[in-house]
Structure 1
Amino acid sequence: MAGTLTSGKIKTKRNLSKTKVAIVVAEWNEDITGALYEGAYQSLLAHGIKKQNIIRKNVPGTFELTLGSLWMAEQKDVQAVIALGCVIQGDTPHFDYICQAVAYGITEVNIKTKKPVIFGVLTTLNKKQALERAGGKLGNKGEEAALTALKMLDF
């Protein structure tokens, strides 16, 4: 797939057997975020991260991903965090405020904690676009977020 990281396996210099990754998942649009989680989870397992070292934490919505990610990144034994959410544009500017706030917030968590905190948030115009990116014809952006975390750990 051109323009995506979804390629199955990546090579890493690290032994990932003891690496601990937190996945923070927004409950809003749960059918989408659940599929993103499954893509991230399966990708981490395929790269040697052990089940017991993948921590899932749910937050109510995408806006809460920033604080949830900060709390997980502050854990000394967590090496990376993947933030998964989905914001679908509606009739009001709410979409714009949420997307901007979360993008800025996740960036700040990266800088503050000096750990990879991956922005795995779909920002789509409609549910069809979200489904296409959560395991549909455009791949699974959750898997891409997991691969991004692994690549950043290698950096």
Structure 2
Amino acid sequence: MAEFNGDPRGEGRRIVVVASRFNEGITVPLAEGAVSALVGRGVAFDDVDVLWVPGAWELPVAVRRALATGRYDAVVVVGAVVRGDTPHFDFVAGEASRGIMEASRDFEVPVTMGLLTTDTMEQAEARAGGAHGNKGADAALAALEMLDLFDRAFADDGSEEDA
């Protein structure tokens, strides 16, 4: 039996952070946390791009366009959808999540989720550098870990192409 784990190492990686502007007081710290975590783990500052989209609904198409360029090893998604008094939250949060997952699956590239879906603004603030850490930074580290895991698990046997 072989067992593989990845380390969040960023040397030589090119990463894009796709960020939603809506709820900017939350999303700016998430994006900053992601960039800081990437650079802190060895990604060159010039090898990190940040794409700002209007809201969470626009995240999936921006992720797909970024991946279609072939420039990026991984995508880190950050945003915040906070529940309100209407069902808008359910549609936006669910469909944005689905679109992000589908992009990762279709392109076979790590796309990690720093899209907060919270009931209150206080919960979002706690996850954007507050009491619960910074989920943008967590998503960035997860992207690097997945890249290293893929390198270790599929580096020299070519089994992915043979499957």
Q: Same fold by TM (over 0.5)?
A: yes
Specify the alignment match of 1:122 in structure 2: 116
Runs of 4+ deviating beyond 3 Å: none
Specify the alignment match of 2:141 in structure 1: 147
Specify the alignment match of 1:104 in structure 2: 98
Gaps of 5+ in 1: 1-9
Q: Could you tell me how far apart the structure 1 residues matched to 2:120 and 2:53 are?
A: 22
Using the TM superposition, give the Cα deviation of residue 11 of structure 1 relative to its aligned residue in structure 2, in angstroms. Answer: 3.6
Radius of gyration: which is bigger? 2
1:119-145 superposed Cα distances (whole Å, 9 cap, x missing partner)? 210001111110000000110000100
Q: Could you tell me how far apart the structure 2 residues matched to 1:58 and 1:11 are?
A: 28
Specify the alignment match of 1:4 in structure 2: none
Q: Could you tell me how far apart the structure 2 residues matched to 1:58 and 1:77 are?
A: 17
Gaps of 5+ in 2: 1-5, 150-163
Letter in structure 1 aligned against 2:109: K
Specify the alignment match of 1:43 in structure 2: 37
1:88-108 superposed Cα distances (whole Å, 9 cap, x missing partner)? 000000000111101110110
Question: What is the CA RMSD across the aligned residues, in angstroms?
Answer: 1.2
The count of residues paired between Structure 1 and Structure 2 equals 144
Question: Higher mean Cα deviation, 36-45 or 73-82?
Answer: 73-82
Letter in structure 2 aligned against 1:48: G
Contact between 1:70 and 1:109, CA under 8 Å: does it hold in 2?
Answer: yes
TM-score by length of structure 2 reads 0.85
What is the aligned-residue identity percentage? 38
1:24 aligned to 2:14? no
1:88 aligned to 2:82? yes
TM-score by length of structure 1 reads 0.89
